[in-house]
A = this chain, B = another copy of it.
C-alpha cells in the first residue's frame, strides 16, 4: 500500500506528516518540502505527480516502473534522477538492486521507491535531530539520501568477498560441481551489480560537474565525494570480477591437477601389479615340462622375482618424479 511521508521546513520549523502538509507549502516560498513515496500505486500517485506538480508523464511513469537504469533528465522546473541502491537487509543477492526516483526542484524534493529502503528511513529518522540536512537546501537533503544509498553497497561487497574467499578455500580443498554452480551465481550477481553501478557512477560524475540545475554550486563537492565512493565501489567490483575469473581458472586447474594425481596412482598401481600377476600367471601354467616348478626353492624364487620387479618399477617411477614423498610436504590440501 502506498505510504507517503512529508517533511516540511517552514520558517525554520520542521514538521513531518502526511500529504496534508503539502497544502501548507507554496511553490514560490523558501519553505523546503520533502515528499517520500513508498510502494507507489498509479491511481494514487498520478494525480499528485502529474496533475498537481505537473511532472512530465514520462518521468512520472519512469518513477513508478520497476526497471530503469540510473539516469538524469533535465526539465524546466525540476531535475529528474533515477538512482539504484542495494539493501543487504532485504536481499542477499547483489543482482537485486532497488530504484529510487527523485524530482528535485528549487524548494522541493520528491523521492519515489517501491520497497522500504534503509537509506531513506535513516535520513527520515535523522532529519528532526539533524535539521541542517534540509536547512542547507533540498539538494543537500538529496545528497544525504544518495550518500546513505551509496554506502549501502559496502556491506554487500563485503558479503560477496567473504563468499568468494570461502569458495576459493573450498575449491582448493575439494572441487566439485556445487562450488562451480555457486561461483557462477556469484559471478552473475557481480556482473549485474557492475552493470547497474557503472551508469550510477556516470550519473554522479555528471551531477558533480554541475550538470543538474537545482544542485547548488557549493554542494557540488559533496556529490563529488559520493562519486568518489561510487568509483571505489566499481573498482572493488572489477577486482572481484578478476578474482572470480581467476577462481574459475583455478577450479579447472585444480580438477586437472587432481585427475593428473589420480592418473599417477592408477598408472603406478597397474604398472606394478600387472607384471607380478604375469609372473604368477606364468607359474600357474600347466605345462608338463616346467623345470622351475620342480625346484625346491621355486616358490621363494618366484616371490623374489616379483619383489625385484616391483622394486624396479617403483624405482623407475620415483626416478621419473611421479612418486614424490621426499619432495612434497604433507598438507591439508593433499588430504
Q: Is the pair B68, A228 in contact by a Cβ cutoff of 8 Å?
A: yes
Q: Is A258 an interface residue, CB under 8 A from the partner?
A: yes
Which residues on the B side are within 8 Å of A151 (C-beta)?
A: none
Q: Which of A3-11, A35-43, A117-125, A236-244 forms part of the interface with chain B?
A: A236-244
In the assembly, what is the distance between CA of A187 and CA of B250, in Å?
12
Which residues on the B side are within 8 Å of A93 (C-beta)?
A: none
Q: Mark A230-271, 1 if CB is under 8 A from B, else 0.
A: 011001001100110011111111111111101111110111
Q: Is the pair A285, B288 in contact by a Cβ cutoff of 8 Å?
A: no
Q: Is A308 an interface residue, CB under 8 A from the partner?
A: no
Number of copies: 5
Q: Is A276 an interface residue, CB under 8 A from the partner?
A: yes
Q: Is the pair A287, B263 in contact by a Cβ cutoff of 8 Å?
A: no
How many residues of chain A have a CB within 8 Å of chain B? 98
Which residues on the B side are within 8 Å of A62 (C-beta)?
A: 225, 228
Q: Is the pair B285, A299 in contact by a Cβ cutoff of 8 Å?
A: yes
In the assembly, what is the distance between CA of A289 and CA of B252, in Å?
54
Q: Which of A20-28, A45-53, A102-110, A314-322 forms part of the interface with chain B?
A: A314-322
Interface of A is mostly: helix
In the assembly, what is the distance between CA of A164 and CA of B62, in Å?
29
With CB as the reference atom, state the residue of chain B lying closest to A195. B235
User: Would A259 and B263 be within 8 Å (CB), given that A178-B333, A232-B67, A243-B188 are in contact?
Assistant: yes
Q: Mark A125-161, 1 if CB is under 8 A from B, else 0.
A: 0000000000000000000000000000000000000
In the assembly, what is the distance between CA of A299 and CA of B290, in Å?
6
A residues sitting closer than 8 Å to B (CB atoms) are: 56, 58, 62, 67-69, 71, 73, 168, 172, 174-178, 180-181, 184, 187-188, 191-192, 195, 221-222, 224-225, 228, 231-232, 235, 238-239, 242-243, 246-260, 262-267, 269-271, 273-278, 280-290, 292-299, 302-303, 306, 319-322, 324, 327-328, 331, 333-335
